[in-house]
């Protein structure tokens, strides 16, 4: 499987390298949107000293993680999983299913957009800058906890995508399913503590968007004890497991419809 | 008179077609609607928390709730996506057979907008009404005269945003990054149109810059008219004047870009 993926990625990279102007455009876009996000935070902090107890640089550190994770989505998840809807509609998915590879992995990771990895670098850079402004150098334990929480966050985001895109097997006519993710991910821009109680419960338990940015940022700035990262890993495993079940159920539905 | 009637007939047919096409894609439209509703709601959530410690420059929690609910509705009426279609038509060549039709592409776009917006506004207003039964914070004061003015301002706002989006989209005749310019304007409108906060919460310098541009007249003005924030007759009159100025300005720019663009396009196509 790894060999197949490596070959696919090499092809993607070769293709993208032809469009170098896209790199500049995508970088400028990210800089612009991150700039508006920071200004938005500035507007909020013009009227208050804290968002749900988080100070301005803590929120900016979170914003960097939001940008980095968003970049990962654009680089790895959207190019492959994002076109599942049109694959189901056009029948192109049959060609995938007929191949002797694991379908979920193939569909998810068949394409990458290398330019968007720049967003990951940019986001982590912003987080580092915010840490400097906070005057905090995370220790080895905190850094490790952050890394674990970040991996868990990526897994949660991936699980949300799998569940969302699997619904394509039922709703073939919905070309823009990914918009739902964009709308939900919008909520990850701010720490969960900044939302009213009911929304907070929703983001922690039902749609686990809280685990994508709030937890990594919190472990990095020392707001949460490092052990929270282990909790994040458990949540990520549960999310991956449930999304896998959902995918398999959806796929069974597809074969029965197609045959 | 007969020309008017024939135009009404044409538009009737176009809107009906667009309406029926939309029905086929109702699930997809529903998802766009979710996006349009969630973004203001998230911002409202943050302001709700901030205003929990006391009013923010006179804005209580309920004021924020009313403001952002009005933003949701006005945004649905003024939302403009045409630039993205124009871009793909010009690049993919579909523009050719659209140009061959006996009626200009902009009329079809207007009809599409009417069909979408009638439906979206009906849905959003209905939901708002239901929410208002349970949640007094989002109730709008009962002042039919003000509602009529707000409706008028919303229509003008829709015209500005439509013409602005359409004219910007037509830049695709020359560049492949026309949609980036649309996104750029959207980013600016986060602040200058009052999407992120009521304009009075922004620095005064920003507000005075925005007031000479088209941004606040596309959203903030009708919203504040609806929520009852704007009361003085002079401010209302000034707002409508600015709306008319910017509608005419963008209509002029549209015509300019369209004529030049078509000439440019024909030159490239052979």
Each residue's pLDDT tens digit, B85-126: 998 888 888 888 888 888 888 988 999 899 888 888 888 889
Cα distances from A259 to residues A90, A168, A252, A254, A255, in angstroms, run 15, 17, 11, 8, 6
What pLDDT, on the 0 to 100 scale, is given for residue B11?
A: 87
Yes or no, beta carbons of B46 and A32 under 8 Å apart: no
pLDDT over 80 at B236, yes or no: yes
Into how many domains does chain A fold?
1
> d(Cα A182, Cα B12) in Å, to the nearest integer?
35
What pLDDT, on the 0 to 100 scale, is given for residue A254?
A: 77
Residue-averaged pLDDT of chain A: 88
What pLDDT, on the 0 to 100 scale, is given for residue B179?
A: 86
Residue-averaged pLDDT of chain B: 89
What pLDDT, on the 0 to 100 scale, is given for residue B53?
A: 83
What pLDDT, on the 0 to 100 scale, is given for residue B269?
A: 54
> d(Cα B195, Cα B214) in Å, to the nearest integer?
14
Span of A12-21, A133-142, B30-39, B52-61 with lowest mean pLDDT: A12-21
Q: What percent of chain B clears pLDDT 90, i.e. is strictly above it?
A: 47
What pLDDT, on the 0 to 100 scale, is given for residue A240?
A: 95
Structure-block tokens of residue B48:
């709700």
Question: Would you place residue B2 in the very low, low, confident or very high pLDDT band (cuts 50, 70, 90)?
Answer: confident
The average pLDDT across A208-232 equals 90
For chain A positions 173-232, those within 8 Å of chain B (CB to CB) are 173-177, 179-180, 182-184, 186-187, 189-190, 194-196, 199
Of B25, B48, B201, the CB nearest to A47: B201
Q: Is A106 in CB contact (< 8 Å) with chain B?
A: no
Yes or no, beta carbons of B28 and A173 under 8 Å apart: yes
Question: In terms of CA atoms, which chain B residue is nearest residue A198?
Answer: B45
Question: Would you place residue A149 in the very low, low, confident or very high pLDDT band (cuts 50, 70, 90)?
Answer: very high
| Cβ neighbours of residue B86 closer than 8 Å, sequence gap 6 or more | B95, B105, B166, B169, B170, B172, B178
For tokens 């949701």, name the residue.
Answer: B72
* Residue boundaries of the structural domains of chain B: 2-269
pLDDT single digits (tens) B42-78: 999 999 999 988 899 989 999 999 999 999 999 998 9
Residue ranges of chain B whose CB lies within 8 Å of a chain A CB? 24-25, 27-28, 31-32, 34-35, 38-39, 42, 45-50, 53, 56-57, 177, 180, 183-184, 187, 190-191, 196-197, 201-203
Best mutation site among B49, B191, B194, B203 for testing chain A: the one with the most A CBs within 10 Å? B49
Best mutation site among A38, A48, A190 for testing chain B: the one with the most B CBs within 10 Å? A48
Of B27, B31, B50, the CB nearest to A47: B50
pLDDT single digits (tens) A75-126: 999 998 988 888 887 888 888 888 888 888 888 888 888 888 999 999 999 9
Per the structure, the complete domain to which residue A96 belongs is given by 2-258
Yes or no, beta carbons of A39 and B191 under 8 Å apart: yes
> d(Cα B173, Cα A25) in Å, to the nearest integer?
19
Question: In terms of CA atoms, which chain B residue is nearest residue A182?
Answer: B35
Question: Would you place residue B267 in the very low, low, confident or very high pLDDT band (cuts 50, 70, 90)?
Answer: low
Question: In terms of CA atoms, which chain B residue is nearest residue A181?
Answer: B35
Residue with more model confidence, A100 or A54: A54
Of A48, A180, A196, the CB nearest to B31: A180
Rg of chain A on CA atoms, in Å: 19
Question: Would you place residue A173 in the very low, low, confident or very high pLDDT band (cuts 50, 70, 90)?
Answer: low
Q: How much is the pTM?
A: 0.90
Question: Would you place residue A159 in the very low, low, confident or very high pLDDT band (cuts 50, 70, 90)?
Answer: very high
What pLDDT, on the 0 to 100 scale, is given for residue A256?
A: 53
CA distance B248 to chain A (A): 29
Q: What percent of chain A clears pLDDT 90, i.e. is strictly above it?
A: 47
pLDDT over 80 at A206, yes or no: no
Residue B38 with chain A: CB contacts under 8 Å: 183-184, 186-187
> d(Cα A196, Cα B135) in Å, to the nearest integer?
15
Which residue in A136, A120, A159 sits closest to A219, CA to CA? A136
User: What 3-state DSSP class applies to B103?
Assistant: coil
pLDDT single digits (tens) B175-230: 888 888 999 999 999 999 999 999 999 999 999 999 999 999 999 999 999 998 88
> d(Cα B217, Cα B239) in Å, to the nearest integer?
7
Is A66 within 8 Å of A123 (Cβ atoms)? yes
What pLDDT, on the 0 to 100 scale, is given for residue B163?
A: 96
pLDDT over 60 at B270, yes or no: no
Is B64 within 8 Å of B51 (Cβ atoms)? yes
């Amino acid at each position: 499987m790894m060999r197949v993926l490596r070959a696919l990625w090499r092809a993607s990279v070769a293709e993208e390298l032809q469009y170098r102007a896209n790199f500049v455009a995508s970088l400028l876009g990210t800089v612009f949107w991150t700039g508006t996000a920071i200004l938005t935070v500035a507007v909020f902090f013009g009227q208050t000293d804290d968002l749900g107890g988080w100070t301005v640089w803590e929120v900016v550190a979170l914003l960097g993680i939001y940008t980095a994770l968003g970049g990962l989505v654009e680089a790895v998840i959207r190019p492959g999983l994002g076109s599942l809807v049109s694959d189901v509609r056009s029948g192109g998915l049959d060609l995938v299913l007929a191949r002797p590879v694991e379908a979920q992995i193939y569909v998810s990771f068949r394409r990458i957009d290398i330019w968007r990895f720049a967003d990951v670098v940019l986001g982590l850079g912003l987080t580092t800058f915010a840490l400097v402004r906070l005057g905090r150098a995370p220790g080895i334990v905190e850094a490790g906890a952050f890394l674990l929480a970040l991996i868990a966050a990526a897994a949660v985001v991936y699980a949300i995508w799998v569940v969302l895109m699997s619904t394509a097997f039922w709703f073939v006519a919905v070309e823009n399913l990914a918009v739902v993710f964009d709308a939900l991910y919008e909520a990850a821009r701010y720490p969960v503590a900044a939302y009213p109680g009911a929304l907070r419960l929703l983001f922690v338990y039902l749609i686990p968007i809280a685990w994508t940015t709030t937890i990594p940022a919190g472990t990095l700035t020392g707001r949460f004890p490092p052990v929270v990262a282990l909790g994040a890993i458990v949540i990520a495993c549960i999310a991956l497991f449930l999304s896998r079940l959902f995918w398999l159920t959806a796929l069974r539905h597809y074969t029965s419809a197609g045959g | 008179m007969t020309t008017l009637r024939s135009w009404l007939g044409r538009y009737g047919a176009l809107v009906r077609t667009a309406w029926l096409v939309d029905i086929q894609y109702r699930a997809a439209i529903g998802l766009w609607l979710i996006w349009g509703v969630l973004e203001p709601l998230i911002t409202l959530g943050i302001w709700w928390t901030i205003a929990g410690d006391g009013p923010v420059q006179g804005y209580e929690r309920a004021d924020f709730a009313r403001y952002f609910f009005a933003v949701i509705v006005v945004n649905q009426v003024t939302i403009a996506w045409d630039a993205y279609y124009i871009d793909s038509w010009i690049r993919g060549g579909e523009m050719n057979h659209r140009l061959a039709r006996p009626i200009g592409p902009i009329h079809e776009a207007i009809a599409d907008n009417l069909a979408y917006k009638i439906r979206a506004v009906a849905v959003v207003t209905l939901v708002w009404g239901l929410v208002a039964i349970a949640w007094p914070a989002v109730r709008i004061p009962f002042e039919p005269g003000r509602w009529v003015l707000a409706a008028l301002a919303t229509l003008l706002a829709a015209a500005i945003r439509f013409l602005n989006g359409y004219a910007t989209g037509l830049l695709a005749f020359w560049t492949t990054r026309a949609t980036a310019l649309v996104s750029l304007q959207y980013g600016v409108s986060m602040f200058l149109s009052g999407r992120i906060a009521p304009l009075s919460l922004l620095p005064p310098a920003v507000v005075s810059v925005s007031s000479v541009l088209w941004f606040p007249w596309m959203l903030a003005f009708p919203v504040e008219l609806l929520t009852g924030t704007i009361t003085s007759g002079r401010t209302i009159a000034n707002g409508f004047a600015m709306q008319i100025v910017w509608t005419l300005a963008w209509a002029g720019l549209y015509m300019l870009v369209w004529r030049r663009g078509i000439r440019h396009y024909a030159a490239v196509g052979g």
